[in-house]
Amino acid sequence: MVLPTVFADAARRAEALGAPALGTRTSLRVGGRPDFLFEPETEAEAEAVVRHCRDAGVRLRYLGGGYNLLVRDGPIRGAVLATRRLQFLEITDTQVRVGAGNSFPGLVKTAIELGIPGLPGCPGIPGTVGGVVFMNAGGRFGSVADALVEVTYLDPEGASSRRVIEAGDLGYRTSRFDGCLVTGATFRRDPAFTQEAAQALYDDAMKWKRETQPLSAKSAGCIFKNPDGPEGPRSAGRLIDEAGLKGAQIGGARVSPVHANFIENTGDATAADVHALIVKIQRTVFAAFGVELELEVKTW
């Protein structure tokens, strides 16, 4: 088969790099080696990778910063497209357009200067812009959804598309971009949102994060979504804590003593350790409270 030039270029780079074990690319520091790893530098290269994998019947997965992923230990069949080189930043008086591979913490800092609502309330959320849009990341002080106006993406066939965000496109840690590759996102600027107000929001959110979450541990952030309860969402962390599991450990994986909805890799954890601990937490919480905890973290 004759490969399109652009795909051949990306394939050559992938071969030269060799596919690393994904434990080197995920914050939990676990995960095996995929058959192929592509790191396109342009949307055209990304499109060629998507189309070629589809035509060749090769399963393709998308990797952002790897901050919300649990990847299995063994070989990962198929290809991974990492977005970290898909970077750009375009600023106008009213909007900021940013690449999927740009650092989200970097964008949060920029948002303070440029007056992008919501984002200054998201410090301490690691990842890429594509990853946070796909996950609709956020928390009690702000969310990606607060200022997101448009997303560019490749659909599962590799066709380039653009969507103005509407109510219902983003849910609790979900988005309508399942199976698509987010390539860029546009956020609105609000002249009424002053740098002082943005900085104050950032400082409050960062203080809360530092006090409540193990930010320097090797983790994937919250493992479970907060389940619905009769009086609104219940804290998954509190349920795990009240089930007596804070500090529980299997192999090198431990329920964080700081925040029970975080699992930490204490040094030599495998993905199997983390998975076994997840199952133990789900069974214990169900036995204690009759609540089924659903994963927030994505698993490969």
Give the footprint of ligand FAD on this chain (CB under 6 A): 27, 61-69, 83, 100, 124-128, 130-132, 134-135, 137-139, 177, 181-182, 213, 215, 219-221, 298
Select 125 or 281, whichever has its Cβ closest to ligand FAD: 125
- Least gap, CB of 253 to ligand FAD (angstroms): 14
- Least gap, CB of 145 to ligand FAD (angstroms): 11
d(CA 146, CA 142): 7
- Least gap, CB of 1 to ligand FAD (angstroms): 27
- Least gap, CB of 290 to ligand FAD (angstroms): 26
Residue nearest to ligand FAD (CB): 131
Select 115 or 121, whichever has its Cβ closest to ligand FAD: 121
Judge whether 138 and 144 are in contact, CB under 8 Å: yes
Select 7 or 104, whichever has its Cβ closest to ligand FAD: 104
**Hey, which residues does 161 pair with through a beta bridge?**
153
Select 141 or 193, whichever has its Cβ closest to ligand FAD: 141
Judge whether 205 and 141 are in contact, CB under 8 Å: yes
- Least gap, CB of 93 to ligand FAD (angstroms): 27
Judge whether 111 and 99 are in contact, CB under 8 Å: no
Instruction: Give the Å distances, CA to CA, from 154 to 108, 114, 162.
Output: 25, 28, 9
- Least gap, CB of 144 to ligand FAD (angstroms): 8
d(CA 125, CA 120): 11
Select 67 or 193, whichever has its Cβ closest to ligand FAD: 67
Q: Phi, psi at residue 82, to the nearest 5°?
A: -95, 135
d(CA 141, CA 143): 7
Select 52 or 173, whichever has its Cβ closest to ligand FAD: 173
Structure tokens at 97: 């357009």
**Hey, which residues does 138 pair with through a beta bridge?**
143
Query: How is 55-78 classified by DSSP, letter by letter?
Result: HHT--EEEESSSTTEE--SS-EEE
